Amino acid sequence: MEHKPVVLMERYELGRLLGKGTFAKVYFARNIKTGMSVAIKMIDKEKVMKVGMIEQIKREISVMRLVKHPNIVQLYEVMASKSKVYFVMEHVRGGELFNKVSKGKLNEDAAKMYFKQLISAVDFCHSRGVYHRDLKLENILLDENGNIKVTDFGLSALAESKCQDGMLHTTCGTPAYVAPEVIGKTGYDGCKADIWSCGVILYVLLAGYLPFYDSNLIEMYRKIVKAEFKYPSKFPIEARRLVSKMLDPDPSTRISVTKIMQKPWFQIGFDSNTRKAETAEKEPDVFSSLESSSNLLERPERDKLGDLNAFDIISLSAGFDLSCLFEKKYQKKELRITSMQPLQTIISKFEDIAKKLRLQLTKEGGLLKMEGSREGRKGVLSIYAEIFEITPDFHLVEVKKARGDTLEYQKVVTEDIQPALKDIV
């Protein structure tokens, strides 16, 4: 017995599942009227409302409407039912650029072709006041002709997202690709942050591996902040000079997109009319149909959990998951917090904690050791607090048990240490 094909909104015949995530599934589909192949991203309405992600979805729609470009995945339309939101998008058949590089580095001509298309797409986004903020190989697809298509604007920002100082302040992006100023949380220029990520991508295309990588995430962050990396011996000289200007840790002196496009290495074979030929549609009211569809954009009072922070969102996608580094609650046997306070202020807090708990505190560089004087169920309780300087104004503090009873340690952490550190987190 043949199964009748599933038809969505009387317009699209659904096919195979292409991929799925926490909140969405992506299906291959065919437009019944025109026969055109599309990809349909189905977002679960109830799930996104529960975690307060409606604003992010609205922003992604708004951004994708603005950026109509040959090297950006196109959003054709947005539909909604009682329980789902549907993004009808261009179907890109060639897979991720990541899969090509995973087989080894590319030759210079191939890397240059992909890089030129990427810069053309990024330049176009910036001209429309859009900053992607999560550029990485996994977010660059290839079509059947081998041309790139930038996708996943879920973390993107519009120019109006800037604060009064003219900067963006949300820490986001995939750690190995993220610019040092984004880590620092002092505000950053979205254009310059995207350029850094493009520099990482160009390096990977020509080297076959990431410039900043370490199994210790804190060490990786240190390398990013200092732009500490090495080129393989056969890395092309002109490309090396360009990458060095893109991976400048000082955003004020980092090369601009305009100057990248003026470089002789970039200019050879580049069609300067690409961007001029494209026009963006006037931004339509893309939310009206959603708002009228089963009150999609209404969030129940009981579900007002606030927006997910950027590292929560990152953990839902491919790449490194750093969410554990930025959670403020106790997890397993370690407590990790971040603080914008000076090093001495953090140390003083632990001195106060040790005094209150009658623990002996000793200091060894950034490592603090707090030890009791009485024997517990499993010996004397000893706790380490290690302070990592990510930037001069941004510290990560890791608290863990050195020895002693785990239950006793957990009680000290939850009842004494965590509450005492609240005002510096």
Residue numbers in the known binding site for ATP are 41
- Is residue 90 left, alpha or beta, with left meaning phi > 0 and alpha meaning psi from -120 to 50? beta
Rg, C-alpha atoms of the chain: 25
To the nearest 10 degrees (0 to 180), the angle between helices 108-127 and 237-246 is: 30
What sign results for the dihedral spanned by CA atoms 357, 358, 360, 363? positive
CB 305 within 8 A of CB 50: yes
Q: How far apart are CA 118 and CA 147, in angstroms?
A: 10
**Residue 406 tokens, joined:** 């785990």
Q: State yes or no: is 194 an active-site residue.
A: no
User: Could you please report the per-residue DSSP string of 84-95?
Assistant: EEEEEEE---S-
Altogether, the residues listed in the chain come to a count of: 425
CB 193 within 8 A of CB 262: no
Catalytic entry in 44, 109, 123, 134? 134
Q: How far apart are CA 116 and CA 270, in angstroms?
A: 7
Q: List C-alpha distances in Å: 317 to 3, 154, 174, 212.
A: 33, 10, 9, 20
- Binding site per annotation, positions: 41
Question: Please, where are the H alpha helices in 228-376?
Answer: 237-246, 257-262, 264-267, 288-291, 310-314, 343-357
Q: How far apart are CA 193 and CA 252, in angstroms?
A: 11
3-state secondary structure of 108: helix
Active site members: 134
